[in-house]
């Protein structure tokens, strides 16, 4: 028997996900040997404060200087689960250029500096894996880069934020208002004390930027993503949506169209039969459409310690196999197309519009006229009984260029018959 092959790794960060990764490294020790032929050892764990005790992590592994990892020739894999743009960007670029393989769960970094990292990976002929950065435990990056690579994808849309899906589920199923549902999500640990990144769609926007880049082989950054959150969604919107046969979800979507790539995050009315409509609570799911593969959907846990750690470790095991077969850097970022990203105004959507209007003869005709003059055609309309002389109109439009819809809305807002715009939400479908 020859000497056992050991692959040494360093972990950056020992928070929730970091502890989960370390736990799986220990739990799966023998499995990893069976699956790869080598033993995985985490030698060093980089943290800000080495004096702080961390459950399950031997304190002698803790260090606080990056150069001890960078300059350690034994360390072949750097596992980054500390988050944030700096210093992670610098460190990972240095690691890759030094020929170390990188596994990261850092969506902020990839969504803004993906191209930089991939340049560094290419320079160092290294693996850069990041399955955990999008939709946690759901395999989505690897299917996009490998399994579905022969399918000319045209649309990727997903529920990629568990916090907002939990809130919308409570509003839909239990009739809660937004504030009440948010409070419950916070209490249960689904929402952070500052929920901005989740409820404003920024978190989903980062994930959709990454998915767009991989799916369409063209670099898309977070700053190019139109984002709109769920804070304006009301229990009434949800009730009306239901009346029309729809469910409201926060959707991150990207489409490949003639004029370029569309990338948007916003609430959306989905038909009740759409596969994404059945994704409840804090589950995530990604729905794709491709020329050859047709429709497909992947659902699972988008966050949580062990689900995220399992995605990280799936990547680490893959990197180990590549190290042992001298095949790191095999699959690049692949952003060989330079497609323009369309502004939201140039994309086409259907809209759900809920407005309060003075209940007098001709009001509807007036409004319909303004919509029509701006190329907004009405697919469905419901007028509800009026209270105190104000009637509620709920309109679902046909597909319209968003600019035209916005123009029409501006004009409506200037009309004396219009008392309030209560809800404007996009609607799925053509």
- Known binding residues for NADPH are 107
Catalytic residue among 44, 207, 249, 264: 207
Determine which residue in the list 67, 291, 345, 420 makes contact with a second copy, applying CB under 8 A. Answer: 291
Residue 351 CB partners (closer than 8 Å, separation 6+): 376, 395, 396, 397, 400, 405, 424, 425, 426, 427
Of 303, 265, 267, which Cα lies nearest the Cα of 188?
303
Least gap, CB of 131 to a second copy (angstroms): 6
Determine which residue in the list 53, 294, 361, 430 makes contact with a second copy, applying CB under 8 A. Answer: 294
Q: Is 112 exposed, middle or buried (0-12, 13-18, 19+ CB in 10 A)?
A: middle
Q: Is 34 in the site for a second copy (CB under 8 A)?
A: yes
Residue range at the interface with a second copy (CB under 8 A); choices 113-121, 274-282, 355-363, 382-390: 274-282
Residue range at the interface with a second copy (CB under 8 A); choices 149-157, 242-250, 356-364, 385-393: 149-157
**Residue 398, both tokens:** 């046909």
Q: Is 162 in the site for a second copy (CB under 8 A)?
A: no
Q: Cβ closer to a second copy: 166 or 405?
A: 166
Q: Cβ closer to a second copy: 164 or 322?
A: 322
Q: How many residues bind a second copy (CB under 8 A)?
A: 61
CB atoms inside a 10 Å sphere around CB 103: 28
Binding residues for NADP(+): 12-19
Least gap, CB of 238 to a second copy (angstroms): 19
Q: Is 411 in the site for a second copy (CB under 8 A)?
A: no
Q: Is 334 in the site for a second copy (CB under 8 A)?
A: yes
Determine which residue in the list 120, 250, 263, 299 makes contact with a second copy, applying CB under 8 A. Answer: 299
Least gap, CB of 344 to a second copy (angstroms): 28
User: What is the x/- site pattern for a second copy, positions 76-115, by CB under 8 A?
Assistant: ----------------------------------------
Determine which residue in the list 8, 242, 321, 419 makes contact with a second copy, applying CB under 8 A. Answer: 321
Determine which residue in the list 68, 119, 180, 318 makes contact with a second copy, applying CB under 8 A. Answer: 318
- 286, 158 in Cβ contact below 8 A? yes
Residue 248's beta-bridge partner residues?
269
Determine which residue in the list 10, 11, 24, 75 makes contact with a second copy, applying CB under 8 A. Answer: 24
- DSSP strands (E only) in 164-279: 226-227, 246-257, 260-271
Of 234, 164, 261, 145, which Cα lies nearest the Cα of 204?
164
Residue 169 CB partners (closer than 8 Å, separation 6+): 280, 281
Least gap, CB of 56 to a second copy (angstroms): 15
Q: Is 150 in the site for a second copy (CB under 8 A)?
A: yes
In our burial notation (b when 16+ CB lie closer than 10 A, e otherwise), range 386-406 reads eeeeebbbbbbbbbbbbbbbb
Rg (CA), the chain: 24
**Residue 135, both tokens:** 């939709």
Least gap, CB of 49 to a second copy (angstroms): 27
23 classed as catalytic: no
Least gap, CB of 388 to a second copy (angstroms): 41
- 158, 284 in Cβ contact below 8 A? yes
Q: Is 138 in the site for a second copy (CB under 8 A)?
A: yes
Distance CA 397, CA 244 (A): 13
Q: Is 422 in the site for a second copy (CB under 8 A)?
A: no
Residues recognised as catalytic: 207
Binding site for a second copy (CB under 8 A): 20, 24, 27-28, 31, 34-35, 131, 137-139, 142-143, 146-152, 217, 273, 275, 278, 280, 283, 290-301, 304, 306-307, 309-314, 316-318, 321-322, 324-327, 329-331, 334, 336
């Amino acid at each position: 028997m020859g000497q056992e092959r050991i692959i040494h790794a360093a972990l950056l960060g020992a928070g929730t996900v970091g502890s989960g990764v370390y736990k799986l490294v220990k739990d799966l020790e023998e499995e990893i040997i069976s699956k790869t032929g080598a033993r995985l050892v985490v030698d060093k764990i980089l943290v800000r404060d080495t004096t702080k005790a961390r459950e399950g992590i031997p304190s002698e592994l803790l260090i606080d200087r990056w150069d001890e990892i960078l300059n350690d020739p034994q360390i072949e894999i750097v596992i980054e689960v500390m988050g944030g743009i700096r210093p992670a960007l610098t460190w990972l670029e240095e690691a890759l250029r030094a020929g170390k393989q990188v596994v990261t769960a850092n969506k902020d970094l990839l969504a803004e500096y993906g191209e930089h990292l991939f340049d560094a990976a290419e320079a160092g002929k290294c693996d850069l894996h990041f399955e955990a950065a999008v939709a946690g435990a759901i395999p989505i990056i690897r299917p996009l880069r490998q399994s579905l690579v022969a399918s000319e994808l045209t649309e990727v849309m997903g529920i990629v934020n568990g916090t907002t899906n939990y809130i919308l589920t409570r509003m839909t199923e239990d009739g809660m208002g937004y504030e009440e549902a948010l409070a419950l999500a916070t209490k249960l640990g689904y929402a952070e004390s500052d929920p901005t990144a989740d409820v404003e769609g920024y978190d989903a926007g980062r994930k959709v930027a990454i998915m767009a880049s991989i799916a369409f082989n063209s670099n898309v950054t977070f700053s190019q993503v139109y984002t709109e959150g769920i804070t304006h969604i009301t229990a009434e919107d949800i009730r009306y949506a239901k009346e029309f046969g729809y469910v409201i979800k926060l959707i991150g979507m990207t489409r490949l169209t003639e004029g370029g790539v569309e990338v948007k995050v916003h609430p959306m009315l989905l038909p009740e039969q759409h596969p994404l409509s059945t994704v409840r609570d804090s589950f995530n799911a990604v729905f794709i459409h491709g020329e050859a593969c047709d429709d497909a959907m992947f659902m699972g846990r988008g966050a949580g310690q062990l689900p995220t750690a399992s995605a990280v470790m799936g990547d680490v095991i893959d990197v180990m196999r590549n190290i042992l077969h001298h095949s790191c850097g095999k699959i690049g970022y692949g952003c060989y197309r330079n497609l323009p990203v369309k502004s939201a105004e140039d994309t086409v959507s259907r809209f759900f519009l809920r407005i309060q209007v003075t209940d007098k003869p001709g009001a509807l005709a007036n409004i319909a006229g303004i919509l029509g003059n701006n190329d907004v055609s009405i697919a469905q309309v419901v007028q509800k009984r009026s209270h105190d002389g104000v009637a509620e109109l709920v309109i679902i439009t046909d597909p319209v260029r968003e600019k035209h819809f916005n123009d029409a809305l501006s004009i409506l807002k200037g009309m004396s018959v219009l008392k309030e715009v209560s809800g404007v939400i996009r609607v799925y479908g053509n």
